Structure formats: structure tokens, C-alpha cells
């Protein structure tokens, strides 16, 4: 019983997907988890935050109904306890579902903290642990934790990270968000929908700085239109918690010092891989200077120690630190351990989404990145309000496609606007299959839809523009 084929350390999205696929391929799998299976994504990140953002969208809808459509609706209040109960019910049902999947697959879940004792051996302490030896391999999937700032310790109430922001008591009247990546933008959007005064501070010269510059520009415009104070090129000098809130000094892009006060400060300055307690050295492994476990073979996600693989947030770029990327990594590693041919993860074809209002969704290369890589490109952009359904939604947004010049393959697709998280799948296939604009242009998009704006851009790039000339 203690000599399974595969030992997976960590039961988040990367870990449990590895375990499920390996078990489906007939391997005997032990999954060690010290907390709850599902990890950060299910319990503190993706799922609870999107539940809250859905509720925020309902609040925004009441305002839109009144202000745009003549529906005389009013919002009396937000019942925070009821909102939290619905969120927790969704998380709980998903958690039970993951546990049921693992149980049905025959994965043995061992509760406790795991550490390596050799290149094929693991000791699990606490719970129902013990000593285990893997016949085929070990998979490291211990995830990440929020980065914090020196001298600014989270207290779960006035200073919070993305792990505890959703669980802080009540709805604050004002929020300062440090970090303009996807997490920071989503939390800024949520709190603004719930009526808070929000300031979003980003050190880079634009928010979501890893996205195409036009995505950043349109998203910034949308957030400012909603009343969010967006400060880019700004740096935190210091922050204090005097009692009932937070007082921070920020150096703006103009070199001015601003003092900002808020009931709550959210630190969203990235995440750091979790390897403490793993005892990597016992297996002959070490992290890089950033704390990541770097594969020696990216095609197999295998480390320099044969048989030890790594998935999820422990991986450095080009891995994306996204739950759906870790699912793909888990499939790859499980199939590799089972001796099944498996294609490497194509990170360029993995979609990236920010679930704010407006949303962003993209896949592939941005315009500047494509040019920097030596591609001669053509670009076409269309506002979502150029199609009737975009006018109906009235939230602005755009479609941008980057393609090789001369009718070559599509290199990247970038969307901003309502519901674009549900529109990116088509473009993922386009980029992943190296399609050309003409390949897409022959397919008819439904009318009226937001997605027909995507179709219109491909028609234009294929020389068949209809509403774009």
C-alpha cells in the first residue's frame, strides 16, 4: 500500500488533475494534501472570487436597469451574510465534487504535510501519513502564496491579501489596491460595484502590464468610467494602520507624494511558490533565485532528478500561474508517467482572462511582443460598440487581432468588454491551430452577438470586410 506508482504532493488544480489522469490510466496514486483538495483556486481564489464578481454584476445590473432602461429598480442593501453563504455553498459543493472524483478514481488521499526523503521517497507527517516510495515518480504541486510587502503584515481586516480579502468582515466604504495585475483589478472592480471608493495603484506604466497595450488602455478607460482612481507608474512609500483603516503614502508618476486613506488595503503584488517544508535537497533538488522549481525538460515537466516532475505555480515562466494551465500540466505529467505520448503544453495558446467589469481575455502574442520576436504583422481592431449587441450592452470594449503579414497565421487575439471570458475559446483554437484569417473568415458568426465582432475582424484581415472597410 505504501509503494504506489505515483506520489503527488499537493491537491490543488495541478495536483488533483495529475492524480485523476494517472489513476484513469491505471496507475496507483497517492495524493498528499495538508489542507483541502482543490487548493487556492477552489477555496480562496478562482471560484469564490468569481462567485463574488457575479454578485457584483447583479448589483451593477440594477444601476444599469434604472439609468439606461427605465426600469425603476432600487438597491436597498447587500446582505453580506447571505452573499457569503451562497459563495460558500458553491465552494463547498465543488469541494465535495473533487473529493468524489478522487474517491471514484481510486486515488488514495493522505492528509498531512509531505516532505521528500529521497528521489523516490516521501514522508507524510500528521493525519493518516507515513512513509511512501514511488515506483514511477513524484509530482510536486504545492502551489503558491500571496507575496507581501516588508513592514506591512496582513491582519485579515485592514490589510489583506488575495487569500483573505474575500473573508474579511463586511464591505468597506473605501479600498486601496496595490497591484494592477489580474487579481488587483478584479478586487478593485468588485469593491467598486459594491459601492466602495477605490484607488488602484500599479508600479508599471499600465495596468495588466503583461497584456497587449491596447487591452490595458481600454480596461483603464472602463475602470475610470466606473469611478475607480487608477494610478499607474506609482509606488508605495509607506503605509500605517492607525486604527480604523489604512493611511498610505504613494509616489505618483509625476513624482508627487499623495497620502491615501482607506478602510482596507489589498496587497496584490503577485504570488510566490511554496516549497518550505518540502526538503527539496533530500532529493537532490533546489529552487532558482526566485523560488521556482525549474524543469530540466519542459516537454515532460521533469526536473533534473529523473522521475520528479513539477506542475502549477511552482513552475517559472513560460508557465502562467493559471489554474487551467495547471490542468494541462497535470494531464501532461500523468500521461508521461504512464508512458502515454503527450504533447507539451503550448503556453502561447493558453487563454488569459481578467474577470473585472469590463473583462479582458486574450490568447497568443500582443502586437509589441510579436514585433519584438521579428514577425512582420498586420493588426485590425474593432470596437464592440460597432456591432448591435455591443450597443445593447453599452460597456464599450474592443477586439484586436494580430496576424502575420501577407495572409499568414493569427498570432494573437485580444478582447475587452462584457462576457469576453466566454468568447475567447474560439480564438484559442484559431491561435492553437495556426489558422489564418481566411480560414476563420469562411465561418459564419451568429447575429446579433458580441462574437460577430471577432468574425468581422477576421473578415477584414482576409480582405472581405463587410462593416469594416
Instruction: Tell me the average pLDDT across 3-19.
Output: 98
**Whether the Cβ atoms of residue 353 and residue 359 lie closer than 8 Å to each other:** yes
Q: Between these two residues, 144 and 164, which has the higher pLDDT value?
A: 144
The dihedral built from the CA positions of residue 426, 15, 356 and 292, taken in this order, carries a sign that is: negative
Give the model's pLDDT for residue 126. 84
Among 2-6, 53-57, 166-170, the range scoring the smallest mean pLDDT is: 166-170
pLDDT tens profile 225-279:
999 999 999 999 999 988 789 999 999 999 999 999 999 999 999 999 999 999 9
Q: d(Cα 414, Cα 424) in Å, to the nearest integer? A: 8
For residue 367, give Cα distances in angstroms to 254, 376, 413. 28, 10, 10
Active site residues: 447
H helical segments located in 194-294:
213-225
pLDDT classification of 88: cutoffs 50, 70, 90: very high
Instruction: Tell me the average pLDDT across 321-329.
Output: 96
Asked if residue 414 has pLDDT above 90, the reply is yes
Asked if residue 353 has pLDDT above 90, the reply is yes
Give the model's pLDDT for residue 469. 62
Percent of the chain with pLDDT over 90: 93
Give the model's pLDDT for residue 224. 97
pLDDT tens profile 161-198:
999 888 888 999 999 999 999 999 999 999 999 999 99
pLDDT tens profile 22-47:
999 999 999 999 999 999 999 999 99
Integer-rounded Cα radius of gyration of the chain: 23
Residue reference for cell 484559431: 430
Average predicted confidence (pLDDT) for the chain: 95
Give the model's pLDDT for residue 18. 98
Instruction: Tell me the average pLDDT across 307-336.
Output: 97
SS3 category, 314: helix
> pTM higher than 0.85, yes or no?
yes
Amino acid at each position: 500500500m505504501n509503494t504506489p506508482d505515483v506520489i503527488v504532493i499537493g491537491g490543488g488544480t495541478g495536483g488533483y488533475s495529475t492524480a485523476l489522469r494517472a489513476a484513469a490510466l491505471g496507475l496507483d496514486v497517492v495524493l498528499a494534501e495538508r489542507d483541502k483538495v482543490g487548493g487556492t483556486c477552489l477555496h480562496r481564489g478562482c471560484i469564490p472570487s468569481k462567485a463574488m464578481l457575479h454578485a457584483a454584476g447583479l448589483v451593477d445590473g440594477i444601476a444599469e436597469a434604472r439609468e439606461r432602461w427605465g426600469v425603476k429598480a432600487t438597491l436597498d442593501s447587500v446582505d453580506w451574510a447571505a452573499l457569503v453563504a451562497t459563495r460558500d455553498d458553491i465552494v463547498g459543493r465543488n469541494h465535495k465534487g473533487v473529493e468524489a472524483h478522487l474517491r471514484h478514481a481510486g486515488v488514495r488521499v493522505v492528509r498531512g504535510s509531505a516532505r521528500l526523503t529521497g528521489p523516490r521517497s516521501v514522508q507524510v507527517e500528521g493525519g493518516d501519513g507515513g512513509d511512501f516510495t514511488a515506483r514511477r515518480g513524484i509530482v510536486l504541486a504545492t502551489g503558491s502564496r500571496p507575496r507581501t510587502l516588508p513592514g506591512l503584515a496582513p491582519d485579515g481586516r485592514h490589510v489583506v491579501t488575495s487569500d483573505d480579502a474575500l473573508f474579511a468582515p463586511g464591505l468597506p466604504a473605501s479600498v486601496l489596491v496595490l497591484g494592477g495585475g489580474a487579481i488587483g483589478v478584479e478586487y478593485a472592480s468588485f469593491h467598486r460595484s459594491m459601492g466602495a471608493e477605490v484607488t488602484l495603484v500599479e508600479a508599471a506604466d499600465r495596468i495588466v502590464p503583461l497584456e497587449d497595450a491596447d487591452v490595458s488602455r481600454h480596461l483603464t478607460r472602463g475602470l475610470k468610467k466606473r469611478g475607480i482612481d487608477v494610478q499607474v507608474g506609482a509606488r508605495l512609500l509607506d503605509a500605517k494602520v492607525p486604527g480604523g483603516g489604512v493611511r498610505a503614502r504613494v509616489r505618483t508618476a509625476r513624482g508627487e507624494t499623495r497620502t491615501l486613506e482607506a478602510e482596507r488595503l489589498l496587497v496584490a503584488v503577485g504570488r510566490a511558490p511554496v516549497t518550505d517544508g518540502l526538503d527539496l535537497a533530500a532529493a537532490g533538488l533546489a529552487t532558482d533565485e526566485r523560488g521556482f522549481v525549474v524543469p530540466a525538460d519542459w516537454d515532460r515537466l521533469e526536473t533534473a532528478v529523473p522521475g520528479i516532475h513539477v506542475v502549477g505555480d511552482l513552475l517559472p515562466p513560460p508557465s502562467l500561474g493559471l489554474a487551467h494551465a495547471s490542468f494541462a500540466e497535470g494531464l501532461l505529467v500523468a500521461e508521461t508517467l504512464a508512458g502515454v505520448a503527450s504533447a507539451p503544453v503550448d503556453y502561447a495558446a493558453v487563454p488569459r482572462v481578467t474577470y473585472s467589469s469590463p473583462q479582458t481575455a486574450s490568447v497568443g502574442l500582443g502586437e509589441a511582443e510579436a514585433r519584438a520576436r521579428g514577425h512582420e504583422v498586420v493588426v485590425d481592431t474593432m470596437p464592440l460598440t460597432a456591432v448591435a449587441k455591443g450597443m445593447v450592452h453599452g460597456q464599450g470594449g474592443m477586439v484586436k487581432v494580430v496576424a502575420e503579414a501577407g495572409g499568414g497565421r493569427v498570432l494573437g487575439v485580444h478582447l475587452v468588454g462584457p462576457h469576453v471570458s466566454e468568447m475567447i475559446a474560439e480564438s484559442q483554437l484559431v491561435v492553437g491551430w495556426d489558422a489564418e484569417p481566411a480560414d476563420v473568415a469562411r465561418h459564419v458568426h451568429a447575429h446579433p452577438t458580441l462574437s460577430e465582432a471577432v468574425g468581422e475582424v477576421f473578415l477584414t484581415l482576409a480582405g472581405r470586410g463587410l462593416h469594416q472597410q
